[in-house]
Each structure stands twice: as structure tokens, then as C-alpha cells.
Amino acid sequence: MSTVTNQLRVSRTIRADPDTLFQVWTDPQKLMHWWRQEGEGWAFAGASVDLRVGGRYRLSMTAPDGKTHVAVEVTRETEPPLRLFFTWDWGNPENRVGDTLVTVEFKEAGDNRTEVVLTHERFVDSARMGRHEQGWSELLRLLERTVA
């Protein structure tokens, strides 16, 4: 039996250096300013970050209906301030996407700008992949607003 591999990629060039963006992505005190979805009623609900290989990484946001969505991750590789590589899934069984992988790269783009490139792969359900593409795009916009 074979599985279908689906991959999405989103990117955004942000006026900030890679070190700043890496810190804002990995520091729970900074994540609280942007880790949620756009739209009325979404809120940050907590984060714990262990960047050691094998370390746990949990990010939470609360939806307008009051339901908390928790992403559960395991760090696979960290190369500060250029790259993060981790597993990705949701804690709630109804939202699970399986054994997926996320790579976040922070590439210098000159003039104190950085291209943030996020690749999320190993989706077996293309419908969930599409929703994640929308979510990651929103998060990159919120990240940009936070460092602006």
C-alpha cells in the first residue's frame, strides 16, 4: 500500500533580519503576539518550545467558538537563525493530519529583509493541506505585522 505525498510551500519577505525572525518564531513571549489566525475572536493560548533535537514544541490558539487548537511538534533539527525542522500534528484527534514535517527557512534577502520560506510536507489528505496553506499564509502575515 502506498501513500500519496502532498507538499505545500508558502513564503513572505519581511523587513527584519533572520535572527530577529528566528527569535520571534521560537520565544514563547514573542509568539504570544502573533501565533493565532487572522479574524475576529482568535487568540494566542500558550506555547512551550524546546529546540533541542527530540524536544517538544507546543503551540496553542483559541478559536472564536472558545475551542483551543494545540499543535504538537517534535524538533528534528535547529540551525539558528536560519532553519527549523520539526514534525507537525494537532493534539485533537478530529484535526490530526498524521506524520507531517515542517521546515521553516530564514533567508537573507538584503536591505534588512528576510524571506521566510515554510514547507509543510507528507499530507495524505489534500483538503487538510489546503487549510494548512491558508493558515500558514495568515501566520506569516501576522509575523510580519509583529516585527513591523
CATH tag, 6-147: 3.30.530.20
Q: With 90 as the cut, is the pLDDT of residue 41 above it?
A: yes
Residues in the chain: 148
Strand partners, 47: 59
- pLDDT (tens digit per residue) in 52-88: 999 999 999 999 999 999 999 999 999 999 999 999 9
Q: pLDDT at position 126, please?
A: 84
- pLDDT (tens digit per residue) in 81-110: 999 999 999 999 988 998 899 999 999 999
Q: What is the DSSP letter of 148?
A: -
Q: pLDDT at position 1, please?
A: 46
**Residue pair 35/44 in contact by the 8 Å Cβ criterion:** yes
Strand partners, 43: 62
Q: Where are the beta strands (DSSP E) in 15-67?
A: 43-49, 56-62
| Residue ranges of domains in the chain | 6-147
